[in-house]
Amino acid sequence: MTGTEFTAWFGKLKLDANGEIEDCDLFDKDPEKLAEIVVELQNNPQSVPLQRADLRDAALECGFVELDEDYDILLRDVCIRAAKSQISQTDTDDSRIIQAVEALDDIDKNVNELSERLFEWYGRYFPELEMTGEGLANFVSAYGSRTNVPEDHAMSEKASQSMGAELLFADEELLRTFANNICSLYDTRRYIENYINTSMGSVAPNLCEVAGASLGARLMSMAGSLEKLAAFPSSTVQVIGANRALFKHLRSRAPSPKHGIIFNNPVIKNAPWWQRGKLARALAAKISLAARTDFYSGELDPTIKEALDKKLESIRQANPNPPEKKPEAKPQKRGGKRKSRGRKKNKKSGGNN
Amino acid sequence: MPVRELSSGIYELDIDDRKMLATKNMIPGMSVYGERLITDDDTEYRQWDPSRSKLGAMVLKNFDIPLESDSIVLYLGAASGTTVSHVSDILTDGLVYAVEFSPRTMRDLIQLCDQRPNIIPILADANKPQSYAQIVEKADVIFQDVAQPNQAEIAAINSKYFLEEQGHLMLSIKSRSIDTVASPKKIFKEEVRKLESGFDIEFEVLERKELDPFHEDHLGLVAQMFVDDEE
Ligand SMILES: C[S@@+](CC[C@H](N)C(=O)[O-])C[C@H]1O[C@@H](n2cnc3c(N)ncnc32)[C@H](O)[C@@H]1O
């Protein structure tokens, strides 16, 4: 009949075989320190005897507090501190990159909408100007009314002959301000991209090397964290981003989709169609390995990328020609290349050369 | 205004011929999630929306609610505290330990804890009761709403560690988090069977009812832990 030890938030308890307290060694009554102890115990759980004195009774019995209320007040204080410190620790390196990736998507969505508005709006005053996006925003921000376009500018002739309406001063100021904002969103976008590129190199060097900074970051974001990405089997990595199809597959055992975001990697996108599936599988396998290496060791292991390149090359060598039979229902559409910003779907257009 | 106490600390107000579920607001003037505040004779009530709370739905489904003003409650799956805030209202002399494992959600819950003296926040996984055993005392009631496939196991191990003898377990079982294809009825039956005999502690299921129309494919359940009388 030996007793057990159990650490409560207020002290170390020695319990006899019936769970009654034999001895207690109380901690300092400092909420900050107690919170640290609570977090520490939470991260390294102890084995908990089922037969144990009730914590509140024990605290009163050992004289840690005198009143029930004091127990409540102190415990609440300690637990709020502990939870707050745990939350602040969740601001990890990969979570920062994920926020940046998501900010990038938000900017894209907004900048597209604002650019379209500028196109419509400014189009009234200079419909012949065939500019969109950042070019248009820069143009409007620089010149405002087309009457300000300098003579040596490529658009100067179009500007002087334009059928557009006259731009009043108040509207011109408004348009320029609006355009300035769009320009600064494009700047922010580049800034974030840079941030992702540099942080990926230190946070997930292997993923960065194998998948590229931007795709690697995006995979982490879609998985939820580097840890989760590292836990995925490579067959899942291959289809991350094929969301609707993927969820359907997980839910109802529908056939698994083949086209995740890793198909945006040039290695696959620029390959002839009959090689893509195999290349994607090889890439996914190495991405998976890279994510695991990053999560567990954090050191760059150049052999991953070397092995990948070798593997890709051997797939290309082994499949130089299209198979005899084309896969069923391959769309015959050609050309009609549309700018498909924001569209996730990966049409197999072009590519067969 | 007619006010009826349905269960300890839980009220039904009659407002313009409409019945409304509510609790007495512990922090007058504060609405937690945009719910209506109603004052009657110096008492402020907070509307309790049963379609946003499994516990609220259980009240309206006429469950016997085992909560008293001085109960100690372990609440698993607290989320941002919609329901926890009403439990906090009910437990005027009690305490609720609110366990939630999503840090993002816990951020909101902590704001609630900052205002209310009787909620103890715990950021932890309910699958690992050892990780919060240094904090949680014996509870009169365990309320669980975690929407996980192993809901029954989670309830059982937490009861084993923390439930008082003859304490009550209140469970919301979401069939779709267990199996998305099988029929809810079948799933509920299996979960009840597990609770009654699948673990090394046993429960007597006191009441079970589906929570529609407030929550589709959810079963509400109240059970009491069996005490072996070995002696
Ligand atoms: C349906 S919501 C609960 C809603 C809440 N009971 C209410 O009525 O306001 C389920 C919550 O349980 C949490 N959860 C799921 N699994 C958990 C686990 N293993 N441990 C702790 N919390 C968990 C989820 O993060 C989510 O916030």
Contact residues, B window 129-148, toward A, CB-based 8 Å cutoff: 129-138
Q: What is the pLDDT of residues B6-19, one digit of tens each?
A: 999 999 999 988 99
- Cβ(B88)–Cβ(B30) below 8 Å: no
When divided into structural domains, chain A yields a total of 3
Q: Count CB neighbours of A52 within 10 A.
A: 20
pLDDT over 70 (residue A52): yes
Question: What pLDDT does A260 receive?
Answer: 85
CATH number assigned to the domain comprising residue A71: 3.30.420.220
Question: What pLDDT does A259 receive?
Answer: 75
From atom 13 of ligand 1, which residue's Cα is the shortest distance away?
Answer: B77
Query: CB of A67 within 8 Å of any CB in chain B?
Result: no
Taking only the tens of pLDDT, chain B with its 231 residues reads 889 999 999 999 999 889 999 999 999 999 999 999 999 989 999 999 999 999 999 999 999 999 999 999 999 999 999 999 999 999 999 999 999 999 989 999 999 999 999 999 999 999 999 999 999 999 999 999 998 889 999 999 999 999 998 999 999 999 888 887 888 899 999 999 988 887 888 899 999 999 999 999 999 999 998 765 544
> B-chain residues within 8 Å CB-CB of A43?
131
Query: CB of B113 within 8 Å of any CB in chain A?
Result: yes
- Angle subtended by helix axes A93-123 and A213-223, to nearest 10: 110
> Which amino acid, one-letter code, is at B107?
R
Give the distance (Å) from ligand 1 centre to CA of residue A291: 29
Mean pLDDT, residues A21-39: 94
Of the three residues A72, A88, A104, the one that is the final residue of a domain is A88
Specify whether A211 is located in the same domain as A308: yes
Specify whether A102 is located in the same domain as A167: yes
Range of the domain at A309: 205-318
Q: Please work out, in degrees rounded to the nearest 5, the angle formed at the alpha carbon of residue B195 by the alpha carbons of B212 and B90.
A: 55
User: Is residue A24 assigned to a domain?
Assistant: yes
- Angle subtended by helix axes A213-223 and A273-296, to nearest 10: 70
User: Is residue A246 assigned to a domain?
Assistant: yes
- Angle subtended by helix axes A133-143 and A169-203, to nearest 10: 130
Specify whether A277 is located in the same domain as A193: no
CATH number assigned to the domain comprising residue A239: 1.10.246.90
Dist CA A280 CA A258 (whole Å): 9
Dist CA B216 CA A164 (whole Å): 59
Dist CA B203 CA B226 (whole Å): 5
Give the distance (Å) from ligand 1 centre to CA of residue B58: 17
Dist CA A118 CA A113 (whole Å): 9
Q: In the A/B pair of chains, how many CB contacts fall below 8 A?
A: 73
Q: What is the pLDDT of residues A317-330, one digit of tens each?
A: 999 888 876 555 54
Question: What pLDDT does B181 receive?
Answer: 80
Give the distance (Å) from ligand 1 centre to CA of residue B77: 3
User: Is residue A295 assigned to a domain?
Assistant: yes
Bridge-based pairing state of the strands B95-100 and B72-76: parallel
Query: CB of B123 within 8 Å of any CB in chain A?
Result: yes
Specify whether A216 is located in the same domain as A296: yes
Of the three residues A198, A218, A240, the one that is the final residue of a domain is A198
Specify whether A265 is located in the same domain as A212: yes
Q: Which of A115-119, A343-347, B129-133 comes out lowest in average pLDDT?
A: A343-347
Of the three residues A53, A88, A123, the one that is the final residue of a domain is A88
Q: Among B32, B55, B112, B146, which is best to mutate for testing ligand 1, by the most ligand atoms less than 8 A from CB?
A: B146
Left, alpha or beta for B166 (phi > 0: left; psi -120 to 50: alpha)? Answer: left
Asked whether B158 lines ligand 1 (CB < 6 A), one says no
Asked whether B71 lines ligand 1 (CB < 6 A), one says no
User: Is residue A219 assigned to a domain?
Assistant: yes
Tokens (6 digits) for B178:
């267990």
Specify whether A120 is located in the same domain as A187: yes
Query: CB of A86 within 8 Å of any CB in chain B?
Result: yes
Q: Which of A20-24, A39-43, B86-90, B132-136 comes out lowest in average pLDDT?
A: A20-24
Specify whether A111 is located in the same domain as A77: no
Global pTM reads 0.75
Q: Which of A119-123, A204-208, A334-338 comes out lowest in average pLDDT?
A: A334-338
Specify whether A225 is located in the same domain as A303: yes
Asked whether B145 lines ligand 1 (CB < 6 A), one says yes
